[in-house]
Structure 1
């Protein structure tokens, strides 16, 4: 597609965004919604529409080559992603579930399930590709030097002596002759047997006509079967239940489009380089040509302000500080008297606001003590957003600058020099203003000395002494606290040495090369129907993939999103063995370019013993994780850290070693730290539920694959391992008989069947369902009672309890009322 097509895609996204912003930021705030169903319908509609905008902007950002447009698209894209995360968080809080089913909304908007797939922006990994490659090379070199990873063996064939070569040739030749004699003897025996049978039947038993009839029967049967098979295949193609063989391969148009995308990528990099050079050159030209005039104009304006203030008030004004904006505050269209009044009013306002805050805190404390209930209007309402205001500003910038801009002259889509000049004039203005402020402060001091005498000097010195004394007292009060808070156990060590030590100790590991799209699964088509009949459905693997993308990948991938999005510090993945929990951890690292730290109990055995050793280890891990963010800290067998009672076989591991110190470090993780703790467990029943849920604020239950996911998975696994899916293989039956088996089991069976020899035989002997039965029968599946035990356990988690209350008709208001009743009883007793 051409650049005009992607520009239109960008414009369409902003049209949709304009409509959404008018709904979300109305002139008057909307009243709370009392009907939970209506509110959730509105919420899911907003979510689906924002996801559509997200997909459009992501595609436009990847294909548009104009460097200035890409910067605006990038800002809007990050804010739309942030708004999607906020809406997802609202949906979790209002529906009390991590998984949501929106079949009715999709149907109303006439969308496909694929339109709700959350894409992972490619710039997450592309823009850091060089740094990631260098980091991977350093990691690999450390592993090779320490002997943790074996060096690749050279492909050179070792030399052999002449005697060994002759002996190998002799052995091979004798084997060849033996095989040849065996085949000759088989042919002789076969001919003898054939002659014997012919002699027993008699030579004249079959006439020529009978032989011809027999040949015709066989031939006609073969032709008819072939024709019937072809008719069946044509019928399936006409019904849309199978694909034409010609469409199985990529058509030339698709290959051409891929080549054009690659060329567009190269052009985008070229335009970006030109844009960066233009920023420097244009700024230097403006500094030389317009800088001196701007400097003189500012000086004249400030001097005029000095004179006006002196004429109006009888004294020279105080020069605004840098924190207040410097001389920029002077050029507001106000009189000197107004400016002096404002400066005095701001000080009073600050004092009043502090007093008001103290009074409010006191009132709240009194209200809690007396048991007063705040009178709020009942109903559901969307929470405040951190992204909507910036989103509205950037949308306004698109409307004013780019929407009606004539670009007929800019066919190659290079940067616009006039826009660069507008931006750089602001930067030059700020730079010159700092210089002018320093000069004019000195000039103002000279004017005061010349006109008012030395009164100002004495005051200045007295103030300075007072400030100096105040500073010393503050330093003496807070010095000890700062030392404790900022204590660095490895202050004298470099980041490279800490990194190398963690790699050698096995705490920092390379992530496996898997992507999130490798977690194969289909959409859940019965979710809404089951919930309408008060049955809680098990999520599909597609739902799991979506939740991991929203909770982990998108916040970790961008600093701008992570700082303002709902903060998630610890995530727990729960599910039977083989459902892909570890794979998801590695996929998160690969998609975001994150470092992988392993703090599993089994990995910590014998490392950094004692309390001081434990503190040093955690300090090193989280120091390196913050400095090299994004980072993922993985805790395998997460239930062991919160055991109710440690089993005998696990006592040697000391699984509760991190139980006290790790929650303390978790509290220190802030919005600017792109560090995520991910725990995995297949047996959470043995852990203390209260402590586990307190540490892991978000718990995701991963089920066995359902029928739709198994169908898609079998097809993908067979093709990845070199197989071909034909009509001889009934995928529907195969997906049915593999019910209860996990993704790991299916991968194991596919690799076992599709060996190199079997792949070579596929042309003559296609795959059948019988070949899969025997390997599946040797594996124990995940039984229904095991999955039900996990569902029962999840229902006891905080979110699970809320979901159970909502399903039984007791919503948040009723539960709050119940709590209020309990407190009233307690007060009555008192």
Structure 2
């Protein structure tokens, strides 16, 4: 389809998303006491978000305009994160990972295939070259270490070559002989016919033409169907595709090349704009940062009586100065929270005593607590993406943009943030030295002496409680060196190329039947695919989902031998381009220095790679 089709899909999806956001504000903001109604509301939102994700993924995959793709991807990541939040609420409500959606699907006139979770293609496409190079490098390491057997390339012997030539020559002679005999047979048959039958007959000629054409058309159709079946089964390589399928592949290849060219052109333009911003606005931004930081230092000394410590780079540097509050505000807020906590504790104790007394007297059970949707980290992302679309893309005329070229104004806005961040790092170094000199001159602090006791800071800009893993001897080692060592030790495993769609199965209709014993049924194969995608693939593939989504520390795949546990594990790595480490106790024995420090060193190597 042309790009205009996917631009229309994007526009329609944004309208559906706006309706969804409006509906969530109306329904989820109020407490609900009816659990069945809450279940239907959550499942309905779950299915509708799946539709939105599916359409946004199709638009993102086929659009060529890089800035439009970036806008679509932001909303796509937000929708995937919101889907995980709704799934968390569904699990918390029903106390089960598998849900009966049959009644809601029937009301919405959907089929079970509509709740299959799509996996965005950009998980692999954006890092395809890096992944291919990494796979090639891993194969070389495993071959050199003797952990991977190279497929032997057997050469054809002289006898086999002679036999192949003889078979081909005999077949050619047989075809030539059959064609010659057919020609003689038709000639004899023509001569044997009477003279009156050899005259031209329009009906007979038309029948003959129809017979020949229908036979030719059916043979071509059968041949095409056979070739498509062989391609589907993977028994024919892509180089031997039929002309009609190859013609359909050409636009896809052209679109892929166009995306690459657009990305390269936009990257060159971004570098050009970046240099221009540094030259024109860089000095003004630098001066503004220095004035703001100096003013903050002066205000802090006026309140606390001394200059604060400069925030380190790992906490954001001077960003923490503008994020954190003044010491007076911070102290007042902490005191208010402490007082509120005491009041809540007393009120809760009093309420528990009253309820216990009522329960003892009347034997009445406490009322069921009303359900309310928790706070979301992704609704602001979706709202911001929706407003961005309305401002920049909704009313834009794209008919004249035949080349799908980038918008310079949008590039300037994005590059401005990067330039400000680079200048902020430079300003941090200068202001840190300036602060040390001010401390030495005004407060008489040298900054080099440290007391044995814990140092009391005037402003709490550093993050406390951070535990660092000892790097031991890893500081001077590169990632490639650690990667090679883990592969040679058998801790880094080569991933089999298997997709999640290869885990074939259909919905289980028996779990919808009411049971006498309230036991959760075994998840069906579509349920397993959905859970693996939700908890394994989406957080690994999208950084936004991983950082702000519900935290899932581990994923347990349990079942008897031969049901596909390892296949699912390799499918997760294949769909996301992730590395696969085997750090089971039986595999790491003797592969790390003895003691707890050796185990910490091994885990540090794995986490660093």
**Fold equivalence (TM over 0.5):** yes
Checking the alignment, whether the CA contact within 8 Å between 1:32 and 1:377 is kept in structure 2 is no
Checking the alignment, whether the CA contact within 8 Å between 1:573 and 1:581 is kept in structure 2 is yes
Checking the alignment, whether the CA contact within 8 Å between 1:595 and 1:625 is kept in structure 2 is no
C-alpha distance in 2, partners of 1:518/1:9? 28
Structure 2 counterpart of 1:463: 443
Structure 2 counterpart of 1:236: none
Structure 1 counterpart of 2:328: 348
- Secondary structure at the counterpart of residue 556 of structure 2: strand
Checking the alignment, whether the CA contact within 8 Å between 2:286 and 2:424 is kept in structure 1 is no
Shift of 1:363: 5.3
Structure 1 counterpart of 2:373: 382
Structure 2 counterpart of 1:486: 469
Structure 2 counterpart of 1:10: 10
C-alpha distance in 2, partners of 1:275/1:442? 38
Q: Does 1:280 align with 2:263?
A: no
Structure 2 counterpart of 1:825: none
Structure 2 counterpart of 1:608: 590
- Secondary structure at the counterpart of residue 44 of structure 1: helix
Checking the alignment, whether the CA contact within 8 Å between 2:440 and 2:446 is kept in structure 1 is no
Structure 2 counterpart of 1:516: 500
Structure 2 counterpart of 1:152: 151
Which of 600, 605, 608 lines up with 1:624 in the alignment? 605
CA deviation digits over 1:736-783, x for unaligned, max 9? xxxxxxxxxxxxxxxxxxxxxxxxxxxxxxxxxxxxxxxxxxxxxxxx
Structure 1 counterpart of 2:382: 391
C-alpha distance in 1, partners of 2:161/2:270? 70
Structure 2 counterpart of 1:649: none
Structure 1 counterpart of 2:302: none
Shift of 1:150: 2.6
Structure 2 counterpart of 1:102: 101
Shift of 1:359: 3.5
Checking the alignment, whether the CA contact within 8 Å between 1:531 and 1:537 is kept in structure 2 is no
- Secondary structure at the counterpart of residue 594 of structure 2: helix
C-alpha distance in 1, partners of 2:15/2:510? 33
Checking the alignment, whether the CA contact within 8 Å between 1:498 and 1:620 is kept in structure 2 is no
Structure 1 counterpart of 2:23: 23
- Residues 363 and 592 of structure 1, relative CA distance in 2, 3 Å threshold: same
355-364 or 395-404: bigger deviation: 355-364
- Residues 427 and 571 of structure 1, relative CA distance in 2, 3 Å threshold: closer
Shift of 1:515: 1.2
Checking the alignment, whether the CA contact within 8 Å between 1:511 and 1:586 is kept in structure 2 is yes
Shift of 1:424: 3.6
Structure 2 counterpart of 1:88: 87
Which of 570, 577, 591 lines up with 2:554 in the alignment? 570
Shift of 1:11: 0.9
Shift of 1:109: 2.3
Structure 2 counterpart of 1:670: none
Structure 1 counterpart of 2:405: 414
CA deviation digits over 1:210-260, x for unaligned, max 9? xxxxxxxxxxxxxxxxxxxxxxxxxxxxxxxxxx99878759877644432
Q: Does 1:538 align with 2:522?
A: yes
Shift of 1:133: 2.2
C-alpha distance in 2, partners of 1:118/1:65? 24
**Structure showing greater relative contact order (alpha-carbon pairs closer than 8 Å, 6 or more residues apart):** 2
C-alpha distance in 2, partners of 1:296/1:476? 31
- Secondary structure at the counterpart of residue 557 of structure 2: strand
Structure 2 counterpart of 1:265: 256
- Residues 296 and 150 of structure 1, relative CA distance in 2, 3 Å threshold: closer
- Secondary structure at the counterpart of residue 25 of structure 1: helix
Which of 581, 585, 608 lines up with 2:569 in the alignment? 585
Checking the alignment, whether the CA contact within 8 Å between 1:76 and 1:391 is kept in structure 2 is yes
Q: After TM superposition, list the pairs within 5 Å mapping 1:38-49 onto structure 2.
A: 38-49=37-48
Structure 1 counterpart of 2:205: none
Shift of 1:78: 0.9
- Residues 558 and 365 of structure 1, relative CA distance in 2, 3 Å threshold: same
Which of 354, 359, 380 lines up with 2:339 in the alignment? 359
Shift of 1:57: 0.7
Structure 2 counterpart of 1:660: none
C-alpha distance in 2, partners of 1:39/1:379? 10
How many residues align? The count is: 504
- Residues 107 and 533 of structure 1, relative CA distance in 2, 3 Å threshold: farther
Shift of 1:476: 11
Shift of 1:514: 1.3
Shift of 1:380: 1.1
Larger Rg: 1
Shift of 1:22: 1.4
Q: After TM superposition, list the pairs within 5 Å mapping 1:48-87 onto structure 2.
A: 48-87=47-86
Q: After TM superposition, list the pairs within 5 Å mapping 1:212-223 onto structure 2.
A: none
CA deviation digits over 1:313-340, x for unaligned, max 9? xxxxx99x998979x98xxxxxxxxxxx
- Residues 50 and 296 of structure 1, relative CA distance in 2, 3 Å threshold: closer
Shift of 1:145: 1.6
Checking the alignment, whether the CA contact within 8 Å between 2:506 and 2:525 is kept in structure 1 is yes
Shift of 1:122: 1.2
Shift of 1:88: 1.1
- Secondary structure at the counterpart of residue 571 of structure 1: coil
Structure 2 counterpart of 1:127: 126
Shift of 1:269: 0.8
C-alpha distance in 1, partners of 2:35/2:55? 30
- Residues 471 and 385 of structure 1, relative CA distance in 2, 3 Å threshold: farther
C-alpha distance in 2, partners of 1:574/1:474? 48
- Residues 527 and 8 of structure 1, relative CA distance in 2, 3 Å threshold: farther
Instruction: State the TM-score, normalized to the length of structure 2.
Output: 0.70
- Secondary structure at the counterpart of residue 71 of structure 1: helix
Structure 2, unmatched stretches of 5+, are 164-221, 229-241, 299-306, 356-366, 458-463
Checking the alignment, whether the CA contact within 8 Å between 1:521 and 1:542 is kept in structure 2 is yes
CA deviation digits over 1:26-54, x for unaligned, max 9? 5x973311111000100111111111100
Which of 542, 556, 559 lines up with 1:558 in the alignment? 542
Give me the CA root mean square deviation. Answer: 4.7
Instruction: State the TM-score, normalized to the length of structure 1.
Output: 0.53
C-alpha distance in 2, partners of 1:129/1:406? 33
- Secondary structure at the counterpart of residue 613 of structure 1: coil
- Secondary structure at the counterpart of residue 486 of structure 1: coil
- Residues 464 and 95 of structure 1, relative CA distance in 2, 3 Å threshold: farther
C-alpha distance in 2, partners of 1:413/1:532? 61
Structure 2 counterpart of 1:219: none
